[in-house]
Amino acid sequence: MAEHQDETRVAYDGIVELYASLFADPRLAELPFTRTMVSTFAELVGATGNPRVADVGCGPGHITAFLGEAGLAVRGLDLSPGMVEHARLSFPALRFDEARMEALPFEDGALGGVLAHYSLIHTPPEELPALLAEQARVLAPGGLSLVSFFATDAPAPIRFDHKVAPAYSWPVELLAGAGLAPFARLVHDPESERGFLDAHLLARRTR
């Protein structure tokens, strides 16, 4: 797992300013589908009574900031030290730390929510179950997960050449059997040159 993550980290460290410039609006004004699902996630997490949330793979911190404005006690985590430093400078009132997705820095059952916004896309298929299980581990019973990713109607993941690092599109049912029970999804055509759908999947920790 470490080798491909190291390659991904180096790739994102090399494009921090460019990547951040593409996602400069923490209010997601030009991303209505994302805004709708993240807002719904924030509202449902707030209703659990546990406002602690991890933004796993937070990048430049724009969605972390959105969750903070929604009243959640959010902490941004990213593999890339360059992204973490940029997020800290851009949103100094929030906390950002380096972390790997297979070893989240939280105790069992500590969080009301975990958000992974296109941060699982570089994960080889055989490693995905462990990352999802780690998200379930840190969620309290009834806690919420929101995973966004490139989707495919094919029965298996499809590898493609992402502009930053090799990536995968996933079947919409990717959370099945991970200790997370999906209860809502939004799948839409982003008019992407890649030809994949965008998917946002909401789930609850079941045990």
DSSP 178-206: TTEEEEEEEEE----TT-PEEEEEEEEE-
3-class DSSP state for residue 162? coil
The listed range with the strongest mean pLDDT (6-10, 46-50, 196-200) is 46-50
Mean pLDDT of 20-41: 90
Give the range among 48-52, 71-75, 184-188, 193-197 with minimum mean pLDDT: 193-197
Query: Rounded to 5 degrees, what are φ and ψ at 113?
Result: -160, 150
Q: Does residue 111 register a pLDDT over 60?
A: yes
Phi/psi class of residue 142: alpha, beta or left (left: φ > 0; alpha: ψ in -120 to 50)? left
Average pLDDT of the chain is: 90
131 alpha carbon, distance to own chain's centre: 11
pTM: 0.93
pLDDT digits (tens, 9 = 90+) for 33-73: 999 999 999 999 999 999 999 999 999 999 999 999 999 99
Do residues 132 and 160 touch, judged by C-beta distance below 8 A? no
Sequence length of the chain is 207
pLDDT top residue among 22 and 36:
36
Domain boundaries, the chain: 2-205
Tokens of 204: 């609850």
What pLDDT is stored for residue 146 in this prediction?
97
Do residues 186 and 37 touch, judged by C-beta distance below 8 A? yes
What pLDDT is stored for residue 100 in this prediction?
95
Do residues 123 and 168 touch, judged by C-beta distance below 8 A? yes
Of the chain, the percentage scoring pLDDT greater than 90 comes to: 66
Of the chain, the percentage scoring pLDDT greater than 70 comes to: 93
pLDDT top residue among 143 and 160:
143
pLDDT band for position 165 (cuts 50, 70, 90): confident
Q: Class for domain 2-205, per CATH?
A: alpha beta
Burial environment of residue 112 by CB neighbours within 10 A (0 to 12, 13 to 18, 19 or more) = buried
Q: Does residue 162 register a pLDDT over 90?
A: no
Task: Say how far apart CA 61 and CA 64 lie, in whole Å.
Answer: 5
Amino acid letter for position 135: Q
